Amino acid sequence: MTTPRKVYVKSFGCQMNVYDSHRMADTLAPAGYTETTQVGDADLIILNTCNIREKAADKVYSEIGRIGDLKAAAAANGRRVLIAVAGCVAQAESAEIIRRTNAVDLVVGSQNYYRLPNMIARLQAGQPIVDTEFPIEDKFDLLTQPSRVAIAKRGITSFVTAQEGCDKFCTFCVVPYTRGAEVSRPVEKIAAEVERLAAAGVREVTLIGQNVNAYHGDGVDDRPATLAQLLRRLAEVPGILRLRYTTSHPLDMNDDLIAAHGDLPALMPSAHLPVQSGSNRILAAMNRKHTRQYYLDVIARLRAVRSDIAFTSDFIVGFPGETEDDFRDTLTLVDEVGFAGAYSFTYSSRPGTPAAKMEPVPAAESAERLQRLQALITRHWRAFNASFVGRSVDVLLEKPGRFPGQLVGKTPYLQTVQVMARPELIGSVLPVRIAGTGTNTLFGAIAKPAHAPAFAIAGA
Ligand code: SAM
Ligand code: SF4
C-alpha cells in the first residue's frame, strides 16, 4: 500500500513545461501522489522552471525562498515537505541550486523526470539528489500515461509533445544547451497518446516542440515522417476536431506543411512563426539562417493556400549591435505582415551563449524600443479582433466562463470568445456571431440552435 500524499506542480515558461508538469503528476500518481492546486497542502512541491531569459530564472529563486518558508513552517508542525526543482533552470544550474539554497531536496533535469518516484523514495531516507544527465532512454516510453479522470479534469484541449530539443543554435538562446539535441517521437506513439486523449474527451490537440516543424519521427516502415504526415494521421483520430502546432521555425516551413494548411480541414488557420527581427544584419548575427525576404516569402506561400491564416510571432529587441535602423526594419516587417499578435522581449544575455560575448545595447534604449514595438503589435492585434465584429466564426467551446451561464471558447485563429451557452455544449464547435471586443476577448452569441457534442466527455 502506498501512503496517500499531495503534489503541487508549478509551471514557468512555455507549453513544453505545461505538458511536462502534467506528465510529472501522472508519473507520481502510482506512488500515491494526487495533484493539489493548494501549495499549502502539498507534501511535495515541484517548480518546473524556465531559463530562457534572466528574469524567468530569477523568478525561480524568489519562489524557492517563498516555498522554503512554507517548508520550514510545516517542519515546525512536524510535517515533512519536499521541494524539487525541475526543468531548464535545473538543467542549467544543476547542483548550484542546492549550494545556493538549503530548502531544495531534489534537482531534476528536463529529460529525467520519469525517475521521480524512485528519487522521491530515496529522498525520504537521505541526502539531496541532483539528476541532470541526458539519459539514453526515451523518457516518453517510461512515463506513466494520465488516467481518464486526470485527462477530463484538464479540459478538452491538450498539448502533446511531438519533438524536443533544438539543433539550430541561435546565438541568443539556451534551449540547445538545456533541452539538448533535437529528437522526434514516432508517429504511432503520438497517435496512441492522441487516441487516449480523444477517448477521454479531448477535442483539440496542439503538437508542441521547441522546433516542432523540424519534426522527423519514425513513420510508416520506420521512415522519417514530416510534421504534415503526422498531422494527417492525427486528423483521422475519432473525436479530434482541431489540430494546431507550435513553435515553428521559418526555415522548416516546408512544402507539405504549407499544403496541409490548404487541404487539411482539422488544421487550424493560425501559425506561430517567430522571426525575432526584421533586419537582415541582425538575423545573421542571431544565426537565424534566413533573411527578411525569405520570411515574407514563407508568409506569402502560406497565404496562397489559406488566405485567412492568422500569423503570430516572437521578437527580440536590443540584440547586441541592433541600431535604430535595424529596429525600424522590425517595425516595417510588423506592418508588412500584419500580425494577429506577437510576443516581444528585450534581449536577455544568457551565460554560455555566443551572444553573451557581444557588446550589449544600453538597457534604456532596448526598453524604449520594446515599448514602440509593443504599441505597434497591439494596434495590429486590436484591428485583427475588430475585423470580426458582425461576423460569424466557428468557436470550440472549452470551459465555463467567469460568470454563471457563460462559456469560453476559441476561434480557429486562437482568439478567446465569451458566449452564453449550456455547459453540455463544452466540446462542440458552434458558429458564434461576434458582437464586440474586450481587452483580451471577443463577445458573441451562438448563431444557430445548438446540439450536444457527438462525443461525451469522461467524468463530465
Ligand atoms: N524555437 C523557436 C524559434 O526559434 O523561433 C523559439 C523558442 S524560444 C523557447 C521562445 C522565444 O523566447 C524565442 O522565440 C525568443 O523570442 C525568446 N528568447 C529566446 N532567448 C531569448 C533571449 N536570450 N532573450 C530574449 N528573448 C529570448
Ligand atoms: Fe532557440 Fe528556437 Fe533558435 Fe532553437 S531555433 S536555438 S529554440 S530560438
* For ligand 2, mutation pick of 179, 208, 249, 288 (most atoms within 8 Å of CB): 249
Distance 175 CA to ligand 2 centre (A): 6
Distance 290 CA to ligand 2 centre (A): 13
Residue owning the nearest CA to atom 1 of ligand 2 = 173
Give pairs for 122-127: CB < 8 Å, separation 24+: 123/82
Residue owning the nearest CA to atom 3 of ligand 2 = 170
Q: Over pLDDT 90: what percentage of the chain?
A: 75
Distance 21 CA to ligand 1 centre (A): 21
- For residue 386, is pLDDT > 60? yes
The answer to whether 231 and 243 are in contact (CB under 8 A) is yes
Give the ligand 1 atom nearest the CA of 276: 16
Residue owning the nearest CA to atom 5 of ligand 2 = 168
State the pLDDT at residue 93.
84
- For residue 308, is pLDDT > 80? yes
Backbone φ and ψ for 361, nearest 5 degrees, come out as -80, 140
List pLDDT tens digits, range 101-142: 889 999 998 888 888 988 888 887 666 667 667 665 566 676
Give pairs for 186-191: CB < 8 Å, separation 24+: 186/217, 186/218, 186/219, 187/217, 187/218, 187/219, 187/220, 187/225, 187/229, 187/230, 187/233, 188/218, 189/140, 189/141, 189/217, 190/160, 190/162, 190/217, 190/230, 190/234, 191/233, 191/234, 191/237
Q: What's the mean per-residue pLDDT of the chain? A: 91
Per the listing, cell 506513439 goes with 189
Helix, strand, coil percentages for the chain (3-state, nearest 5): 40, 20, 35
Query: Quick one: how far is CA 258 from the chain centroid?
Result: 22
The residues that bridge with 276 in the sheet, in sequence order, are 315
- For residue 402, is pLDDT > 50? yes
Per the listing, cell 538575423 goes with 283
* Ligand number nearest to the C-alpha of 212: 1
The predicted model scores a pTM of 0.91
List pLDDT tens digits, range 202-215: 999 999 999 999 99
Query: Quick one: how far is CA 378 from the chain centroid?
Result: 21
Is the beta carbon of 276 within 6 A of some atom in ligand 1?
Answer: yes
State the pLDDT at residue 329.
98
Give the ligand 2 atom nearest the CA of 288: 3
- For residue 346, is pLDDT > 90? yes
4 or 443: which leads in pLDDT = 443
Is the beta carbon of 252 within 6 A of some atom in ligand 1?
Answer: no
- For residue 162, is pLDDT > 70? yes
Q: Per the omega criterion (within 30 degrees of 0), is the bond before 247 cis? A: yes
Q: Which residues line ligand 2 (CB under 6 A)?
A: 166, 168-170, 173, 175-176, 210-211, 249
* For ligand 2, mutation pick of 210, 288, 314, 348 (most atoms within 8 Å of CB): 210
Distance 272 CA to ligand 1 centre (A): 12
List pLDDT tens digits, range 216-244: 999 988 899 999 999 999 999 999 999 99
Mean pLDDT of all residues in 246-258? 96
Is the beta carbon of 249 within 6 A of some atom in ligand 1?
Answer: yes
110 or 421: which leads in pLDDT = 421
439 or 365: which leads in pLDDT = 365
* For ligand 1, mutation pick of 173, 272, 282, 283 (most atoms within 8 Å of CB): 173
Give the other-Cβ count within 10 Å of 38's Cβ.
8
State the pLDDT at residue 453.
47
Give the ligand 2 atom nearest the CA of 210: 7
* For ligand 2, mutation pick of 50, 173, 246, 319 (most atoms within 8 Å of CB): 173
- For residue 460, is pLDDT > 50? no
Lowest-confidence pick of 389-393, 414-418, 425-429, 454-458: 454-458
* Ligand number nearest to the C-alpha of 351: 1
List pLDDT tens digits, range 16-66: 899 999 999 999 998 899 999 999 999 999 999 988 998 877 888 899 999
Give the ligand 1 atom nearest the CA of 170: 4
Check the CA dihedral 286-290-293-294 and report its sign. negative
Query: What's the rounded Cα separation, in Å, for the pair 278 and 272?
Result: 16
State the pLDDT at residue 111.
81
* For ligand 2, mutation pick of 175, 182, 215 (most atoms within 8 Å of CB): 175
Query: What's the rounded Cα separation, in Å, for the pair 408 and 148?
Result: 23
Mean pLDDT of all residues in 440-446? 94
Give the ligand 1 atom nearest the CA of 344: 16
